[in-house]
Amino acid sequence: MTAAAGTGPAACHGAVITATGLSKHYGKQAALHDISFSIGAGRIVGLIGPNGSGKTTTLKAILGLTPFDGALSVLGRDPRTEREQLMHDVCFIADVAILPRWLKVKDAVDFVAGVHPRFDRARAERYIANTKLTPHMKVGAMSKGMVVQLHLALVMAIDATLLVLDEPTLGLDILYRKQFYQDLLEDYFDDNKTIVITTHQIEEVEHILTDLMFIEHGRIALAATMDEVEERFTEVMVEPQFVATASALAPISQRTVFGKSVMLFDRADRTQLATFGELRTPSVADLFVATMKGQAQ
């Protein structure tokens, strides 16, 4: 299955990631099935899928952490053979922050400042100042959320062209999760940067995404810009007397909310749909559930 993400006007800067026939097998088990996609500069892409769908394998391929078949270009480099050069311009925040228990906050900052030429100490210290972390606090004395905060502060202070986030706010409470995404937009992202995010907390990133890529069973189920999603998909809260007529138009999903039937349509005539009831753009979470149900059928 071939798909393209980031094909709107903001992708005119050129492709940051291009995959053609990307495949990956673990023994006889296929994790990725011949997928193709392109992500342009200045995009924030949500790579969304259930556990075991292939999203982590896709990220590992992009980061040069696993061999694969097919062609993959990241910032003009092949991750299999040019990973060291590539990682000068790529930052990765994993779902589990692994830091030594004896490490102090100030020592962590000193270490990263000494090994990465694009590390901004002032930015890291600014992030840390908004937390309960102190310079002499050791990792072993931190809560899980505080460890994540330190990890985020270190990595977000690196001026990377491509930022890959794999469940970046796992372990944080809702206040810090919201603060993280606010900082991401206001203090990090610009038109020359590209961000790829995987998360199960879809509703928390929906407002920052420019593109969606749903993946299931190692195949891309949907790839579209958020503008395309808004134009293409329509949700209708159908009045009872129109349920049979609306159902005949083959909605891609149907559920009941407060006793009313809510139907989701793909590329349907909105003028006609408006005669059945209230129209709205579906949330990414509802669209994801509907798409996954369609893949399972």
181 and 241 housed in the same domain = no
Q: Does one domain contain both 220 and 234?
A: no
Residue 153 is part of which domain span?
Answer: 9-224
**Of 224, 245, 279, which residue is a domain's last?**
224
Domain check: are 54 and 171 in the same one? yes
The whole-number average pLDDT for the span 103-112 is: 94
- The whole-number pLDDT of residue 70 equals 96
Residue 238 pLDDT: 96
% of the chain surpassing 70 pLDDT: 93
CA separation for the pair 81, 186 (Å, rounded)? 34
**According to the model, what pLDDT value does residue 11 have?**
37
3-state secondary structure of 144: helix
Same domain, 121 and 252: no
- The predicted pLDDT at position 90 comes to 92
More confident residue, 148 or 8: 148
- Single out the residue in 172, 205, 224 at which a domain terminates: 224
1 within a domain of the structure (yes/no): no
- Examine the pLDDT at 8 and tell me if it is beyond 50: no
- For residue 160, pLDDT over 60 is answered with yes
Structural domain tally of the chain? Answer: 2
Please tell me whether residues 247 and 192 are part of one structural domain. Answer: no
Residues 23 and 91 in one domain: yes
CA distance 64 to 87: 9
Query: Which of 189, 224, 259 marks a domain boundary?
Result: 224
Measured distance CA(94)–CA(152) in Å, rounded: 10
DSSP 8-46: SGGGGG-EEEEEEEEEEEETTEEEEEEEEEEEETT-EEE
Q: What is the pLDDT of residues 112-154, one digit of tens each?
A: 999 888 899 999 999 999 889 999 999 999 988 888 889 888 8
Query: Where residue 85 sits, what CATH number does that domain have?
Result: 3.40.50.300
pLDDT value at residue 120? 93
Indicate whether 147 and 281 sit together in one domain. Answer: no
Do 56 and 95 reside in the same domain of the chain? Answer: yes
Tens of pLDDT along 230-250? 999 999 999 999 999 999 999
pLDDT tens sequence across 20-46: 999 999 888 899 999 999 999 999 999
State the pLDDT at residue 293. Answer: 73
Mean pLDDT, all residues of the chain: 88
Instruction: For residues 167 and 240, state if they share a domain.
Output: no
Stretch 59-66: mean pLDDT, rounded? Answer: 95
pLDDT at residue 3, as a whole number: 55
CB 121 within 8 A of CB 157: yes
